[in-house]
């Protein structure tokens, strides 16, 4: 039994030779690291506990990440932006009139892609999904994935984040989530531009009909089946690191490629209190999203069990250790969390939906070693700024 690999080995003689090789490799790597001082690129494929046949293949670079709202998707997007830059892969970016999203909430069409960012191999900006439109412009070996979040915490987040933006929320007396949920139809405005933030947002983002009768089992199951056929992985925000480990294996990426710092979070004071009967009411009001979520949470867990929860757990530990090291290098210990308005560097200031909600971001310390500074800056660069930066870069190219 090999504790490093997490499984029994069949051929002991082969294994000991492998081990010897491993020791030699480790020594060689160590001497390399010592020579180059600390280097950010030392995580390799050998730092994994799960065996997966795909892991030894070349890194997959053609990916579509369907970015959903308030689901930790900005963090995933940042991972993809950095991966694309590092591996010189073209990211599809929105035309300027679409801002930093593909003209969301309009239905996606290929015309929303900036011509300087074609032909793309990566798509990761917000859109209302339309598979046949996306398929037209992506390579035929593209891997699709997305992320969902528990509808209860997600709705709380939407309600607070879009409280001024979304008219269905704006006029709720005392801005009370309870008042809204006691009679959603009194406040919900189906035809307003941002109605999708207040009803079945996940279903809408994935291209479904947010106002469809949730009792229509045929619609629900065919929609779920369609999503299952398109997306090779549906991440679940509640199991973010576990989902990332699965993603890493799916794409044959290295541990280094999935390192992240959480982005686009609200401050604690901006979070609403969820009391006893709210969860039930949120699930009822967002019944389509709830069915979608419950289905794909179960799917994720099936995948995790199939993969081996123990080895995934070990890889999650490796990820967290590496992350800790990263934070030490970039922030000298712990990240300097700030309210957006207090961040001096404009490039690192996240977008605020209104003055009534506080989004937090990061300030980089002045004394970050120069060899890390570009890496660290990108790690905490918010979506809008990173999108602009990439468009400039791809335009120059």
Under the binding rule (CB under 6 A), the answer on residue 375 touching ligand NAG is no
CB of 305 to ligand NAG, least distance (A): 9
Stretch that binds ligand NAG, among 61-69, 293-301, 307-315, 363-371 (CB under 6 A): 293-301
Selected range binding ligand NAG among 30-38, 71-79, 125-133, 180-188, rule: CB under 6 A: 125-133
* Total interface residues for ligand NAG by CB under 6 A: 17
- Using an 8 Å Cβ cutoff, are 62 and 365 in contact? no
The encoded tokens of residue 310 equal 């123990």
For ligand NAG, which stretch binds (CB under 6 A), given 163-171, 295-303, 366-374, 382-390? 295-303
Q: Does 207 bind ligand NAG (CB under 6 A)?
A: yes
Position 53 contacts ligand NAG (CB under 6 A): no
Residue from 97, 191, 273, 370 touching ligand NAG (CB under 6 A): that is: 273
Q: Would you put residue 99 in left (φ > 0), alpha (ψ -120 to 50) or beta?
A: left
What residues numbered 231-260 form the site for ligand NAG, per CB under 6 A? 238
Candidate list 52, 85, 99, 107; residue touching ligand NAG; CB under 6 A: 107
Q: Which of 13, 37, 97, 174 binds ligand NAG (CB under 6 A)?
A: 174
Q: Which of residues 73-102 bind ligand NAG (CB under 6 A)?
A: 88, 90
Judged by CB under 6 A, the residue of 232, 297, 323, 329 near ligand NAG is: 297
**Hey, how many other C-beta atoms are within 10 angstroms of the C-beta on 368?**
17
Alpha carbon distance 70, 67 (integer Å): 9
Among 301, 372, 375, 389, binds ligand NAG (CB under 6 A): 301
182's tokens: 């006691």
Please report, as ranges, the residues that interact with ligand NAG according to CB under 6 A: 88, 90, 107, 130, 132-133, 140, 150, 173-174, 207, 238, 272-273, 297-298, 301
């Amino acid at each position: 039994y090999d504790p490093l690999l997490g499984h029994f080995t069949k051929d002991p003689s082969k294994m000991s030779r492998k081990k010897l090789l491993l020791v030699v490799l480790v020594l060689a790597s160590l001497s390399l690291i010592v020579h180059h001082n600390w280097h950010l690129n030392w995580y390799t494929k050998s730092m994994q506990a799960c065996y997966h046949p795909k892991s030894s293949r070349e890194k997959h670079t053609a990916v579509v990440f369907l970015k959903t709202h308030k689901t930790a998707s900005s963090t995933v997007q940042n991972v993809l932006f950095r991966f694309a830059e590092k591996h010189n892969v073209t990211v599809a970016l929105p035309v300027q009139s679409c801002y930093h999203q593909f003209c969301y909430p309009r239905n996606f069409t290929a015309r929303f892609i900036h011509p300087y960012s074609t032909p793309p191999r990566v798509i990761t900006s917000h859109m209302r999904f339309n598979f046949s439109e996306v398929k037209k412009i992506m390579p035929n070996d593209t891997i699709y994935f997305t992320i969902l979040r528990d509808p209860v915490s997600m709705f709380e987040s939407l309600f607070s984040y879009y409280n001024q933006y979304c008219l269905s929320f704006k006029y709720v007396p005392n801005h009370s989530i309870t008042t809204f949920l006691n009679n959603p139809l009194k406040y919900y405005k189906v035809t307003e531009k941002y109605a999708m933030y207040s009803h079945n947002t996940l279903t809408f983002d994935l291209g479904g009909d947010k106002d469809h009768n949730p009792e229509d089992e045929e619609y629900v199951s065919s929609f779920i089946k369609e999503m299952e056929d398109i997306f090779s992985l549906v991440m679940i925000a509640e199991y973010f690191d576990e989902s990332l480990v699965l993603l890493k294996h799916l794409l044959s990426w290295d541990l280094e490629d999935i390192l992240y710092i959480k982005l686009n979070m609200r401050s604690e004071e901006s979070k609403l209190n969820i009391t006893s009967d709210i969860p039930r009411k949120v699930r009822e009001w967002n019944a389509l999203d709830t069915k979608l979520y419950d289905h794909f949470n179960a799917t994720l867990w099936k995948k995790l069990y199939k993969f081996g929860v123990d080895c995934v757990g070990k890889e999650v530990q490796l990820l967290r250790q590496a992350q800790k090291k990263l934070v030490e290098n970039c922030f000298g210990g712990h990240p300097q969390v700030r309210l957006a308005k207090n961040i001096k560097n404009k490039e690192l200031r996240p977008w605020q939906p209104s003055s009534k909600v506080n989004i937090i971001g990061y300030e980089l310390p002045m004394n970050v070693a120069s060899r890390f500074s570009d890496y660290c800056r990108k790690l905490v660069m918010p979506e809008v700024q990173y999108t602009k930066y990439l468009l400039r870069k791809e335009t120059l190219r």
